[in-house]
Structure 1
Amino acid sequence: MTPDHNAQSTAEVELLSFRLGEQEYSVDIMSVREIRSWTRATPLPHAPAHIRGVINLRGTVLPVVDLSTRLGMPPVAGDARNVIIVVQVSNQTAGLLVDAVSDILALPRNVLQPPPDLAADAARSFVQALTIIEGRMIRVLDLRAVLPFKKSEAA
């Protein structure tokens, strides 16, 4: 059992990092399907505030989540500088509207630290790990918590 544990702690994870305002976040690159330039989303009536609307992705209706609003920050402007990261977790696909994509990071799993337990921080439940790279604090998002259409979520 010990060799498996060691292999897991030294295994690398690849993350796609991106900016929301002055903060840097990342997602597991294995969940990223594509990165698209900004496309104006069609609003949906009665949708939660963090759902910017839907876009047509090659014939598929794709919900677009304003990730900044979802994490409790001011909304992303939604202009030509912004991008939509198309992600898929299980059978859920959605676009994450972010300010800009920063980098692709390959890190050993053992440098990822659990976030501190701060009950007052609403975004904490969306962050599964933290790491510091070249003086930058990078938050690793839990996409299962971020994506809007979980059957267990009563929205």
Structure 2
Amino acid sequence: MAGLDKNTPIPTDITMHRKSRLLEITFDDGNRFSLPFEFLRVYSPSAEVRGHGPGQEVLQVGKQDVYITGLDPVGNYAIKPTFSDGHDSGLYSWDYLYMLGSRYEALWEEYLARLEAEGASRDPALAPPPAPKSSGCSKH
């Protein structure tokens, strides 16, 4: 992962609102974003979600009720949330969180359109059971 450049806004406050399932992040440039837990989960920067290259993204379905059970700092550049579905491999750097916040509406619409195109649902009751986890990344 590339290091943060001098222009990357840095969070001054990160608050987890469990009841409303929002992660509120205030940056040192004055911007404040309230990001739903589900949004953070479906846009996880992990290889499990993003794949190992363009076109390898894995559409996340049935994540409507997901919540964050833990939030750990990673150095001075990222946070690592643990989600209620067991997902915990995404490192959310400050620049990635800032991008998610500044592009929230467009990214959310894109996600909903992908779900619709795939005939998938945000509702966990309508989602297929998760595939068994592999023991790591493998090259094919």
TM-score (normalised: structure 1): 0.24
The structure with more strand, counted as a fraction of residues: 1
The structure with more helix, counted as a fraction of residues: 2
Which structure has the larger Rg over C-alpha atoms?
A: 1
The structure with higher relative contact order (CA 8 Å, sep 6+) is 1
